[in-house]
């Protein structure tokens, strides 16, 4: 009997086909750091990229490492990659240690010397002149010392509560104080009210600008806090704590009150990382680890200031060196006219930051004053403390409009700001809804109901990014303003679903998680698979921040096996392993890092020759597809769809300057342009097109 020659289908649940989500996210910060290492980028921008990689690492430990520790404690099952939580935590420590070493090497051997050559001096203690030392001593006595409260550690003063990410100095003392107490150890915490970067006047008339770290000043003059005692050593340290708030919404009567209570204690949750001066003695390290209940795997020895990310203040303090920063950008502005009239004539597509965010503000501002506007409904996830949108919503309510705002109180690290905004709006008569129990409201939706003659017309804005004018200048995002009847009705029903109590409402055009977005996405990937098997055009192009949802990954693997060409542009974590023989050899994964944070989510499906283009607020992650309220919406105008593909996908696939490609071994490698080919940067080309448009008007 002949052995079967049928090819065995690969097991798409095989852990070997998946990268670990956390390690993939950690690797993103190496790509950010590469921007700081790139000599073609303006010097102060390189410094800013270094600081971004540091703050990203802080957040990684606060959220991802903290959640892993929690999962390990609860005995939860590992992810699709099959690695135990303990294994991942160990690998995080090893990889993060490499990143920290590279960050400080970049600062010490590249950026600090280059800045010094430009007259921007970030001085170490050994570089202070006698005049600078005396000026800093006086500054310490007059500006710093009065707000310090050193705590000696003894039986009546046990180890204090140390705030998350606060700068501290542990001081080793010898001798007896005025009360006869034997000196041993003391903790000096730098209050958050103190600037971490101090500018020194030009005492020697040498020009340029000089700065020192607060941590250096504390270490140099800490002896003045302990008169009569001998300071044997002073060592900086900084602890990072789990910052993921956990509120059992079903067990609380008032989510806002419960969150306020949780925020009070956020800074003192379980420790996950200890940054420590490299010179700190082993016995002090053991003492700190014991008090923070950490193991040696949580320690990161630092050769330099433990709060390196605070050097970003220098970027803002240097105002007279435009040559060391990116050229200022003025986004395209639309001609002034009624937004209602403009949108009634056809859909409006905005591509931020190349297009100004002003039309969205103008739409809400016009609606607030228009006597024919009856109601405004909006979701707010992140909007900033001083939000012009919130001001207009309040004005609309005071003008008699029915204003309903869905405020997501659990937007990570914006909880306190959103609580304040909710209070302001409620006081003005805005109806504030806190979303749905167990689901974050991450969708970006605005709906305006306007009476026009005998009929009511709905105007909707849907976007991939937040209603935040600041991020609209720094993040790439698309927004659509439309009065399409079907989409307007869908958005109205979506708000009804969020704010009311009802079974899942059927929608005509848009996809809404946690109801139809996941299944709608899988249907479209599977449709491409069917088209490929029939020999019809089959191509998936998708841009997003992260990809890890197993069902989606498996659907993409199946599509690749069927012959579908798949191009993925993933900024951060990607669990999908491309280029695996028999599984994913038709899948390419790339990442773009440039001047702006890549943030839009764009989907293209060839659909057998009748292409579909979609925009969404959701990444292809489990939390977005199952545990958040998200929206995906089609771009039905053919000209606008072509523009989305050209600007949001094709430009990024053609990028050979700011692009990285993910290999099957999990390594991200820079995309190098072939010899003789022209350098192409998606962001630069979009900026150039924007400037050309402005000049022609």
- How far apart are the C-alpha atoms of 83 and 77, rounded to whole Å? 9
Within 10 Å of residue 191's Cβ, how many Cβ atoms? 12
Instruction: Find the length of the chain.
Output: 697
Whose tokens are 């986004």? That residue is 331
Distances (CA, A) of 211 to 45, 46, 120, 405: 18, 18, 8, 45
Catalytic residue among 351, 442, 468, 599: 442
3-state secondary structure of 152: strand
Q: Are 81 and 13 in contact (CB under 8 A)?
A: no
Residue 358's nearest CA partner among 491, 474, 473, 476 is 473
* The pair of three-digit structure tokens given for residue 406, joined into one six-digit string: 């869905």
Cα–Cα distance, 597 to 688 (Å, whole number): 18
Structure tokens at 581: 């023989």
Name the DSSP letter for residue 462.
Answer: E
Structural contact between residues 548 and 620, judged by C-beta atoms closer than 8 angstroms: yes
- Torsion sign (Cα): 214, 219, 223, 225: positive
Contact status, residue 245 vs residue 266, Cβ threshold 8 Å: yes
Token match 């080919």: residue? 677
Alpha-carbon dihedral sign for residues 178, 179, 185, 188: negative
Is residue 442 flagged as an active site residue? yes
Classify strands 445-452 and 151-153 as parallel, antiparallel or unpaired. Answer: unpaired
Q: Which two tokens stand for residue 352?
A: 């931020």
Encode 512-546: b = buried (16+ Cβ within 10 Å), e = exposed. Answer: bbbbbbbebbbebbebbbebbeeeebbbbbbbbbb
Phi/psi of residue 628, nearest 5 degrees:
-135, 160
Indicate left, alpha or beta for 313 from its phi (over 0: left) and psi (-120 to 50: alpha). Answer: alpha
Report how far residue 176's alpha carbon sits from residue 179's, in angstroms, rounded to the nearest whole number. Answer: 8
What residues have CB less than 8 Å from 332, skipping those under 6 apart? 354, 355, 356, 690, 693, 694
- For the chain, what is the radius of gyration of the CA atoms? 28
CA-CA distance, 585 to 69, in Å (whole number)? 35
> String of b and e for 389-419 (b: at least 16 CB within 10 Å)?
bbbbbbbbbeeebebbbbbbbbbeebbebbb
Q: Give the Cα separation of 573 and 666 in Å (integer).
A: 11
The catalytic residues are 442
């Amino acid at each position: 009997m002949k052995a079967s020659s049928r090819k065995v289908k690969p097991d798409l649940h095989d852990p070997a086909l998946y990268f670990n989500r956390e390690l993939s996210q950690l690797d993103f910060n190496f790509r950010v750091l590469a921007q700081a290492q790139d000599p073609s980028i303006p010097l102060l921008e390189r410094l800013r990229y270094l600081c971004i990689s540091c703050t990203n690492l802080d957040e990684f430990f606060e959220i991802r490492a903290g959640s892993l520790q929690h999962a390990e404690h609860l005995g939860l099952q590992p992810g699709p990659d099959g690695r135990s939580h303990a294994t991942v935590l160990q690998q995080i420590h090893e990889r993060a240690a490499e990143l920290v070493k590279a960050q400080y090497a970049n600062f010490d051997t590249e950026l600090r010397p280059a800045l010094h050559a430009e007259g921007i001096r970030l001085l170490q203690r050994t570089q202070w002149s006698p005049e600078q030392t005396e000026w800093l001593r006086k500054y310490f006595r007059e500006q710093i010392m009065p707000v310090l409260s050193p705590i000696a550690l003894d039986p009546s003063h046990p180890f204090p509560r140390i705030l998350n990410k606060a700068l501290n100095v542990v001081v080793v003392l010898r001798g007896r104080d005025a009360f006869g107490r034997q000196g041993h150890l003391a903790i000096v915490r730098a209050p958050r009210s103190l600037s971490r970067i101090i500018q020194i006047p030009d005492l020697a008339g040498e020009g340029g600008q000089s700065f020192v770290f607060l941590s250096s000043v504390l270490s140099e003059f800490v002896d003045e806090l302990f008169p009569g005692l001998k300071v044997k050593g002073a060592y900086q340290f900084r602890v990072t704590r789990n910052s993921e708030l956990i509120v059992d919404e079903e067990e609380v009567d008032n989510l806002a009150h419960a969150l306020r209570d949780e925020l009070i204690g956020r800074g003192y949750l379980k420790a996950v990382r200890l940054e420590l001066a490299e010179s700190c003695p082993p016995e002090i390290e053991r003492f700190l680890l014991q008090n923070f209940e950490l193991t040696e795997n949580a320690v990161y020895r630092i050769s330099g200031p433990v709060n390196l990310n605070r050097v970003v203040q220098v970027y803002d303090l240097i105002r007279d060196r435009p040559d060391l920063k990116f050229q200022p950008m003025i986004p395209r502005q639309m001609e002034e006219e009624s937004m209602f009239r403009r949108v009634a004539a056809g859909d409006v597509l905005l591509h931020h930051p190349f297009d100004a965010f002003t039309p969205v503000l103008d739409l809400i501002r016009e609606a607030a004053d228009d006597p024919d506007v009856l109601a405004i409904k909006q979701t707010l996830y992140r909007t900033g403390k001083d939000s012009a949108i919130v001001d207009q919503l309040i004005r609309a309510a005071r003008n008699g409009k029915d204003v309903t705002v869905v405020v997501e109180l659990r937007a990570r690290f914006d909880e306190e700001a959103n609580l304040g905004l909710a209070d302001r709006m409620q006081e003005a008569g805005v109806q504030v809804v806190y979303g749905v129990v167990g689901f974050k409201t991450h969708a970006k939706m605005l709906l305006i109901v306007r009476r026009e003659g005998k009929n009511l017309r709905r105007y909707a804005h849907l976007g991939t990014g937040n209603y935040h004018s600041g991020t609209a200048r720094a993040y790439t995002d698309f927004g659509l303003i439309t009065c399409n009847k079907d989409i307007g009705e869908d958005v109205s029903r979506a708000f009804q679903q969020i704010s009311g109590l009802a079974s899942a409402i059927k929608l005509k055009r848009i996809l809404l998680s946690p109801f139809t977005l996941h299944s709608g996405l899988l249907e479209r990937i599977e449709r491409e698979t069917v088209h490929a098997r029939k020999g019809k055009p089959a191509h998936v192009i998708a841009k997003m921040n992260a990809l890890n949802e197993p069902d989606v990954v498996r659907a993409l693997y199946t599509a690749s096996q069927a012959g579908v060409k798949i191009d993925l542009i993933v900024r951060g974590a990607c669990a999908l392993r491309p280029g695996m023989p028999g599984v994913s050899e038709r899948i390419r994964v790339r990442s773009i890092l440039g001047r702006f944070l890549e943030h839009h989510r764009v989907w293209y499906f060839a659909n057998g020759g009748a292409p579909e283009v979609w925009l969404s607020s959701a990444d292809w992650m489990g939390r977005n597809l199952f545990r958040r309220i998200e929206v995906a919406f089609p771009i039905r105008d053919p000209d606008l769809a072509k523009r989305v593909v050209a600007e949001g996908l094709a430009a990024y696939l053609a990028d050979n300057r700011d692009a990285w490609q993910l290999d099957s071994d999990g390594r991200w490698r820079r995309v190098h342009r072939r010899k003789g080919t022209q350098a192409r940067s998606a962001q630069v080309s979009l900026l150039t097109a924007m400037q050309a448009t402005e000049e022609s008007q």
